[in-house]
Structure 1
Amino acid sequence: MSTPLSQFPKPDALKYINKRKLFLIPNFAFGPNLPEEGEKILKKYWEEVELHIENLETTLGKSTHLYYEMLFDNSQQGLQFVELSNPIGFKLIKKLSDCEAKLEITEDQIIVQENSDWQRCISIGLSSEKVLNLAIKNFQETTDNRWAFIGEKINSTLKENETGLLFIREDHKIQFEQDIQVFFVAPPSLDKLKKWIEEEIKKNNQTNPIEKENQNPED
Structure 2
Amino acid sequence: MAEELGRIIKPEAEQFKDGRRLFLVPLIFTPFSPPGELQAIVERYWQEALSQIKGLESRIGRVKRVYHEMVALDEESGLSTLESLNTGSHNLVKSIIERGGSLTSIEDSDLLNEFMDWGRCLSTGLYSHKVLTTVLQSYQETQECRNKEMASRLDKSLGVDEIGLLIVTENHRIQFPPDIEVFYVAPPALDEYKRWLRRQEESPKKEKPASQEKPEKGESAKAEKSPEAEPKTGENKSETSKPAKRTRKKKSS
Task: Note if 1:87 corresponds to 2:87.
Answer: yes
The equivalent residue for 1:19 is 19
Task: Note if 1:119 corresponds to 2:119.
Answer: yes
Task: Note if 1:143 corresponds to 2:143.
Answer: yes
Provide the C-alpha distance between the structure 2 equivalents of 1:123 and 1:143, rounded to a whole number of angstroms.
Answer: 16
Is the 8 Å Cα contact of residues 79 and 94 (structure 1) preserved in structure 2?
yes
AA at the equivalent of 1:37 = E
Provide the C-alpha distance between the structure 2 equivalents of 1:121 and 1:214, rounded to a whole number of angstroms.
Answer: 11
Is the 8 Å Cα contact of residues 123 and 227 (structure 2) preserved in structure 1?
no
Q: Deviations over 1:8-38 (max 9, x none)?
A: 4233322222210000000113255211000
Alignment of 1:1-219 (within 5 A): 7-30=7-30, 32-203=32-203, 210-212=223-225
Across the two proteins, how many residue pairs are aligned to each other? 211
Offset at 1:187? Answer: 1.5
Provide the C-alpha distance between the structure 1 equivalents of 2:135 and 2:32, rounded to a whole number of angstroms.
Answer: 31
Indicate the larger mover: 200-209 or 138-147.
200-209
Is the 8 Å Cα contact of residues 10 and 56 (structure 1) preserved in structure 2?
no
Identity level (%): 33
> If the length of structure 2 is used for normalisation, what is the TM-score?
0.76
Provide the C-alpha distance between the structure 2 equivalents of 1:147 and 1:201, rounded to a whole number of angstroms.
Answer: 29
Larger radius of gyration: 2
SS in 2 for 1:122: helix
Provide the C-alpha distance between the structure 2 equivalents of 1:214 and 1:92, rounded to a whole number of angstroms.
Answer: 33
SS in 2 for 1:72: coil
AA at the equivalent of 1:28 = I
Provide the C-alpha distance between the structure 2 equivalents of 1:89 and 1:156, rounded to a whole number of angstroms.
Answer: 24
Indicate the larger mover: 90-99 or 133-142.
90-99
Two-structure CA RMSD over aligned residues (Å): 2.3
